[in-house]
Amino acid sequence: MSYDPDNIFAKILGGEIPCHKVYEDDDTLVFMDIMPRIDGHVLVIPKTPCRNMLDASADQLAAVMATVQKVSQAMMAAYGADGITLQQFNEPAGGQEVYHLHFHILPRREGDKIRPPGQMADHADLAAEADKIRAALA
């Protein structure tokens, strides 16, 4: 399996498709998932191409995980969360739908429920969630 440079996250990185950006550094980008499973659901991606965890370099994985931790810590404060759920899928059989490496971060509170997949969020709501996480990162 090779990297498809026309995948949707490559288009977000290239500025062809908008996103609600939460954070970026030299190596990684964080933005709101357009179909959030819970309020605050973000995606962390490397800025350089790789299809998923299986073909990622050690440097790409290290950069992405450092950002996952940084944003997760900010989310614990921003959402008064009790925990964090990470999700990461590889290839169709593993549940992957977009073929550019990404980690899902979901802030969790005791007893909350994850929404079913496929529910598009309102853009104003996503913008508000992005503002909230950015404020906690500042």
Instruction: Tell me the three state secondary structure of residue 21.
Output: strand
Where do contacts with ligand 5GP occur on this chain (CB under 6 A)?
8, 17, 19, 31-35, 89, 95-98, 102
Cα-only R_g, the chain: 14
**What is the distance between the alpha carbons of residues 12 and 41, in angstroms, rounded to a whole number?**
17
Of 20, 102, 104, 123, which one is the catalytic site residue?
Answer: 102
CB-wise, 41 or 110, nearer to ligand 5GP?
Answer: 41
CB-wise, 25 or 91, nearer to ligand 5GP?
Answer: 91
**CA 22 vs CA 19, 50, 54, 70, 134: distances in Å:** 9, 21, 26, 12, 6
Give the shortest CB-134-to-ligand 5GP separation in angstroms.
Answer: 16
CB-wise, 15 or 80, nearer to ligand 5GP?
Answer: 15
**CA 63 vs CA 10, 34, 35: distances in Å:** 17, 23, 25
For the question of residue 100 being annotated catalytic, the response is no
Give the shortest CB-96-to-ligand 5GP separation in angstroms.
Answer: 4
Give the shortest CB-17-to-ligand 5GP separation in angstroms.
Answer: 6
Residues with catalytic annotation?
102
